Amino acid sequence: MARPQAHKSKTGRNDPCWCGSGKKYKDCHLPIEQAHRAEQLKLREAQDTLLPKIIAAAQSVPEAFPAAFEQFWQGEYTPDQMGELDDLEERGAERFLVWFAFDYVMESGTTLVEQLAQVADVEGFEVDAYEKRLLESWINIRMRPYQVAEVHKGKGVTLRDLLDGDICEVADYAAAKRLNVDEVVIGHITPADRPFDAEKPIGYFAGAAAQLTADTAAKLVEFAELHLADLRRTQADATWSDLLRRRSYALNHFVMALPREEDDPSLLDKVVFDARVSLQLTADAISGLLGRDAPEASEDAANAPKEDTGEDAANAPEAPEPDATKR
């Protein structure tokens, strides 16, 4: 038998098949690949039609919005301002609705996407077979922070998950024009179609994502680690996935704390400091909960006056004065 060769996307119909079978490509893997591409095209099309149905379902349960708004926007906005959110926050209404659908835990103890997957084609949520397959594969999707590893002009981007380091390919022509290497995006990546020779499916942005400058990456991870440490007070073995299932809204709190216009590196230190104070985490507590030493406080934070946060926060670093650009 001939030795298998690397799969060539331009193998001729009458060329030997790349798999090494000795057969012509047209009599071996060509029909298999054609069937696979047709199947994947239907999944890609289903991705475009399923998300609007999910958003419409989210809009149909406004009675759940008040509590969800409190979580996501920390009380800064109310459901009455939904129509203004795209002006108040960059695509704020869309970002909220996507988070509400994928992440917010309803009174039933499940997310809206999980509920829709259970009742698809049964209780009024009409989807076709391909949309149903995608819906079932999206039940564990949560808002996550990513850093741009590569930009593929005219095609999409390669993203690295800032929390667990996983790499994903995202097909998005607009993102390839808008994003730069090392910038940070916080959003939902939904898998859909998978190329024949790929291990993972291609991802797509589910609606709008928050876009941050490259200098926020390290502090965002530090901020997330504080929330993981706090979660481990009650769930000792909590992982990043556990944190995002329970507190992905905290990522939006980080976004909200950033300045709208002027860059201010010292503000990033204050965002992290404020989280430590709010969560009442001392350096020793962080070290014990994360299994390593906590990052040192910045010089600005160390020299600022202390805030009265109670006994548990007595050893926390002192807060810098708020910057005028903070929202």
Same domain? 205 vs 222: no
Buried-exposed string 164-197: b where 16+ CB fall within 10 A, e elsewhere: eeeebbbbbeebbeebeeebbbbbbbbbbbbeee
Q: Rounded to an integer, what distance in angstroms lies between the CA atom of residue 142 and that of residue 96?
A: 13
Same domain? 220 vs 297: yes
Last residue of a domain, one of 185, 214, 243: 214
Angle ∠(188,193,199) on CA atoms, nearest 5:
95
Percentage of residues of the chain with pLDDT beyond 90 = 64
Last residue of a domain, one of 214, 249, 265: 214
Residue ranges making up the domain that contains 254? 215-313
Last residue of a domain, one of 214, 243, 264: 214
pLDDT score, position 136: 94
Predicted TM-score of the model (pTM): 0.83
DSSP string, 36-72: HHHHHHHHHHHHHHHHHHHHHHHHT-GGGHHHHHHHH
- Whether 200 is in a domain gets the answer yes
User: 3-state DSSP call for residue 235?
Assistant: coil
Residues of the chain short of pLDDT 50, as ranges, are 1-6, 297-327
pLDDT score, position 294: 52
Q: Rounded to an integer, what distance in angstroms lies between the CA atom of residue 168 and that of residue 156?
A: 11
**pLDDT tens sequence across 203-262:** 999 999 999 999 999 999 999 999 999 999 999 999 999 999 999 999 999 999 987 666
